[in-house]
A and B are shown apart, each in its own frame.
Chain A
Amino acid sequence: MNFSWIQLVAIAPEIVLTIGACALLLFDLVIPRDQKDKLGYFAVGILIVACYGSWKLANVEADVFFGMFTLDPYATYFKMLVYLAGALTILLSMTYLEIEKIHLGEYYGFVLLSTAGMMVMVSAGDLIMVYLGLELLSISLYTMAGFKRSESRSIEASAKYLILGSFSSAILLYGISILYGIAGTTNLKALGTFFAANPLDNPGLLVSMGFLVVGFGFKVAAVPFHMWTPDVYEGSPTPVTAFMSVAPKAASFAVFLRVFAEALGGLKPHWQPILVTVAVATMILGNVVAIVQTNIKRMLAYSSIAHAGYALIGIIVGGGLGTMSLMLYLMIYALMNLGAFGVVILLRKGGMRGEEISDFTGLAKKNPVAAVIMLIFMFSLAGIPPTAGFVAKFYLFMGAVEAGMVWLAVVGVLLSAVSAYYYLRVVMVMYMREPSGDFDLATSPATSLALVITTIAVLFLGLYPAPLIDATKAAILQIP
């Protein structure tokens, strides 16, 4: 396989995003302070262009740049997911940034760059590319977490994320290097062939696999590598939290699955028990600790930990159904979690921080529309039909039962019942308590648009998920 210019077509969407991000930084210099919104819309435009590019490439399957970069429907599906998450995040950010007086053009640049990083991750055909994409993503996120420069919580979040994130990246890299030492390659497909042919009993392999679990476990916030999540989620600007909780998580799960199924698929009996333990611990800790939270961002942080536990079931089950249910889950989770954070963002106005659960008290009386939207997202996160959250969990549990792990499904559903308690608490304070004061919501056309999109999607996919299921089915990762 030789290098040819035509291969650049395969990475055209990534190129568009990177150039767009750079152009955005230049435009930032000439756009007046009170019109930074335009940069946001420009960034959304860039995402739409890139999305169009990926759409055109949807049916192409190719390994380019010496197997470094893989273009397949699986990657394209996740690219669509991160475009959507990126665009919704930008729509949710504008008013918030204005209110917090941190409306700087770089913000949108970082959203685009981190999106590019995630796209590299999901398309990586080589562990080195995985690492490159991960770092591009992480460095953008470290900066975004600390974007509220004047607030110590935000700085703390950023610093914490940077230090712990660097550690985990290093551990991941170490794992990759050991793997290279054993197999002599970092190419995922070559690794797959190697381990299929030589089922090694090399103890180094276990160490390396452990390191990979640590690295990816950190990125998806699985227990016991979740410690950073609540603090970082709480301290970061809310739209950044929303973004972090869905897009990087989805992209990390995408590579998690690709690496473990494609490169280490032959070693499944070795890593499956590790992941089962991690998944159960993650579901239990996330759901139980979420109950005692009073800050809604922390609660959603623990809920996102719990959801990572559910998503891990998809990797554990593997195969067609496991992959499909994971892809479905991550897309639906992205929609409903962005929506829930969207309502939290609405509450941030004037002197109101809107970050305590008690801040939602009586919302249904003062603003029934916002309350009913939040109600839909809460029930969806709890997995109650007829919302999309139910569909997402349904197929994960179906996968577990189909794979003969009924007990895992039982643990999962019982912890869903636990989760209903803390999601319902939000509904309860909104609907069943009297409001103490007036609500002044930070509504704007952009935020409303984002909330309308997510609400309709959550209801529509709850009632008629067939189109999305077909899309995931067509995009299942093909393991040779």
Chain B
Amino acid sequence: MTEAGAPLLSLVVFLPLAGALAALALRSADAARWLALGTTLATLAASLPLWTGFDRGTHAFQFIEEYDWIPTFNIHYAVGVDGISLLLVLLTTCLSPIVVLCSWHAIDKRVKEFMMAVLLMETAMLGVFVALDFVLFYVFWEAMLIPMYLIIGVWGGPNRIYAAIKFFLYTLVGSLLLLVAMIALYVAGGHTFSIPDLMGQSYPAVFQFWVFLAFFLAFAVKVPMFPFHTWLPDAHVEAPTAGSVILASVLLKMGGYGFIRFCLPMLPEASALFTPLILALSVVGIIYGAYMALAQTDLKKLIAYSSVSHMGFVTLGIFVFTVQGIEGAMLQMINHGITTGALFLCVGLVYDRTHSRQIADYGGLAKTMPIFATMLVIFSLSSLGLPGTNSFVGEFLVLLGAFIARPAYAVVASLGVILAAVYMLWMVQRVVFGEANPKNGRHPDLNLRELATVVPLVLAVFWIGIYPGPLLDVLHVSVNHLIEQTQGNGGALAALSWSEIWGFVRSAFLS
């Protein structure tokens, strides 16, 4: 384990919080905007040494910091990153300035409070990815709900209150069961909340079953997996652009991260047991999300359902238990964060001009807003997985991994890629090409600030699409270790079977 001299991770995590507190003292909206932008950029700068200083040759957690927090119960403030969490941390810090920029004019009431909510979100999201203590993880995980609830509910669209409460309650129910499961792990794992310590143990099979069930609910709601996805379209549609970007780019990643960080290494047998179920749900999600996306007339809803479909690839990749699958799933998470975030940004850009999200209200944007149209086309092509763009790499790896281990699922999932081409290209055709829709009016093309939000994402799309090597380097050792943990723990014990579980349940209820 490498010890960092400076508390780098804490700095990254709490810089946005400090910014939010500093914003309390501000009066003017502009000052709040600049402060938020400055804070998110500073956080980004602070996170860069993590990338350069990261030792790619070890699976151990790095940049570890550990202090006593609640000694009586062996709870620590412990943070650290490995290859898996590092990428998600960087994704978060890279996207946050963009989130601030995209709400520069779009948010015009209660600007200070909005920027504070965004900064608090950033702290909570980063905290989730770096926490190495389960209680710390849980505190960040739940604390995130408060600013997100406000972002959707205060600054959202007409039906925002319903969407906000639905988002909150869905996630809360899952999370609360996670809390009980976490305490159960604490009791069974020798009274420790340390995530690395809890990973290195093997738990009784039936115990794993119950804990997995609770974990599954919490993470499946967040991903979201079919059939727990119904909060997502509502939340996306009603949230302001910045809220949609945060939701799509980072929040949904927490489910996948949870599966990779907790379910696989801690509960390998239960993971193996649930694999068929999760793979089936993933594939259903891929196809169902794609079909729903085909039918949408609202741009944001279309992208929301495409998220359900894309995130299906993530869970598929995770649960095929191959190196390619899991690396692909991780890349797919990053890519989905970039591409879908960018698509929501694009919708926000035209929405600011026309105040409509209906596909029917658009057409011929290629003539009136050529730069914007180019961007939208690039991100749509990326979303459907065109070779040379980022999503291709992730989806390809996932499907490769799936073909090696579970060909049947891979075949069905491949249909999702085709459907993605259909709904994306069709959307592009209706929005960008054809005759200019008179409802468009004449709107100015993108200005410099707006370009600053999308251009970095375009670069990321092509960089990952053409040369994903650096990302895979970071992932490789950690993912290999994860596979070892999963098989090492699982192989040593007798495999858990459904009949065993059924016998247990029967005896519990009938005796």
Contacts and interface: CB of A to CB of B under 8 A. Distances in A.
Interface of A: 364, 368, 379, 384-386, 390, 394-395, 397-398, 401-402, 406, 409-410, 413-414, 416-417, 420-421, 424, 427-428, 431-432, 464-466, 469-470, 473
Interface residues of B, number: 35
Contacts of B210: 406
B164 A432 contact: yes
A146 to B, nearest CB: 39
A414 B146 contact: no
Chain A at the B interface: mostly helix, strand, loop or mixed? Answer: helix
Given A390-B139, A432-B154, 16 more contacts: A384-B143, A385-B143, A386-B139, A394-B183, A397-B179, A398-B183, A406-B184, A413-B179, A417-B176, A421-B165, A427-B149, A428-B153, A431-B153, A466-B72, A469-B72, A470-B72
Contacts of A394: 135, 179, 183
Contacts of A410: 177, 180
Nearest to B183: A401
Nearest to B172: A417
Given A420-B172, A432-B160, A466-B69, A390 B142 contact: yes
A379 B146 CA distance: 8
B169 interface: yes
Contacts of B184: 401, 406
A406 B138 contact: no
Greatest chain A CB density within 10 A among B113, B164, B168, B169 is at: B168
Contacts of B135: 394
Interface string B298-315: 000000000000000000
A428 to B, nearest CB: 6
Contacts of A469: 70, 72-73
B153 A432 contact: yes
10 contacts: A384-B146, A390-B139, A394-B179, A397-B183, A409-B183, A410-B180, A414-B173, A432-B154, A466-B71, A469-B70
Greatest chain B CB density within 10 A among A385, A417, A469 is at: A385
A464 B69 contact: yes
Contacts of A397: 179-180, 183
Nearest to B191: A402
A431 B150 contact: yes
A362 to B, nearest CB: 11
A394 B179 CA distance: 8
B187 interface: yes
Contacts of A409: 180, 183
The 9 closest A-B pairs by CB, nearest first: A413-B176, A385-B139, A401-B183, A417-B173, A432-B153, A385-B142, A466-B70, A409-B180, A417-B172
Nearest to A463: B139
Greatest chain A CB density within 10 A among B143, B149, B164, B183 is at: B183
Nearest to B112: A368
A401 B172 CA distance: 20
Contact of A402 (B139, B149, B179, B187): B187
Contact of A432 (B68, B73, B145, B161): B161
B186 interface: yes
Contacts of A465: 70
Contacts of B138: 385
